[in-house]
Amino acid sequence: MRDLPKRLTVGALLGSLALAAGVSVWLVSRSHTRFPQAPHLTPDTVAAKEAVTDPLLSELLADDYADAEELEYYDRAAVRQALLAEQQRATGRRAVAVAYLLAALDEDYAHNRALVLQAFEARLADPTEDDDAIEYVISLCHRGDTTLRQPLLGAARRCVGESAELLGMFYADLITSDLDGFLECLSHFPSEEQRRIADLMAASLSVASEDQVSDDQLDALYDSLVRYTTQGKPQHRAAARQCLEALDRELSDGDTTAPAAMLARQRT
């Protein structure tokens, strides 16, 4: 009977140890439940969060759309660094906008130009897509890349609605600023495509305001086209005739044969 207290003591000690272990496990479990560990941030996740708060990218790529005219308001080196970093992770519409801005900065121009043109061709194949890529190609062309004139004229047969109007404005600007260049490009297309391009050009000129295209400019354009039909290079004569006929169709009221440039003065 004297051993009983010892057994009770050992049993009580073991029970206390088990209880302490159980409480410890429960506390650890509760600590994980109440205070979960922060999610592990990979470099890509960190970069994505930084991109969201980058003031340059927030301004230049608002809604994943870009306008190269905005570049002049920012430090070129900072913009270049931010865009190159963004290009590593950007996809879809945003990636095209980044490539366009980098091309406008003349950063690896051939590569970024190719990316923009790829998006341009994808847009022509799918009319449901937005017109961003068309605007980007027009912008790069205005910035001095005359090799883009040919694909832009070739896009006429594959565009309708607002995208066709966008191209028409480009054609109108080109024919009034560089008639030789416009006719040279136009002459490389079949007759039916020439007519489509000329019609879009004429439609845009017919609604242009006096500030955009003056009556004097229209007079000069008409006279030059008349001269090209007889005195221009052989390959330019047919193209000039297409443009004259398009202007007459667009600006004529159907009851007169007055020159298109004279009719243009009646624009409201």
pLDDT in tens, 47-60: 444 445 578 899 99
pLDDT in tens, 173-182: 999 999 999 9
Distances (CA, A) of 124 to 68, 151, 163, 230, 253: 22, 11, 10, 36, 33
pLDDT in tens, 132-175: 999 999 999 999 999 999 999 999 999 999 999 999 999 999 99
In this prediction, residue 220 carries a pLDDT of 93
Average pLDDT over residues 228-250: 92
- pTM, whole model, 2 decimals? 0.76
Q: How far is it, in rounded angstroms, from Cα 108 to Cα 118? A: 16
pLDDT in tens, 69-115: 999 999 999 999 999 999 999 999 999 999 999 999 999 999 999 99
Query: CB of 146 within 8 A of CB of 178?
Result: no
Q: How far is it, in rounded angstroms, from Cα 7 to Cα 76? A: 84
In this prediction, residue 39 carries a pLDDT of 39
Contacts of 187 (CB under 8 A, 6+ apart): 194, 235, 236, 238, 239
Structure tokens, 152: 């832009």
Helix (H) or strand (E) holding 225: helix 215-231
pLDDT in tens, 204-236: 999 988 888 888 989 999 999 999 999 878 889
Tell the burial category of 238 from Cβ atoms under 10 Å away from its Cβ (0-12, 13-18, 19+): middle
Helix (H) or strand (E) holding 146: none
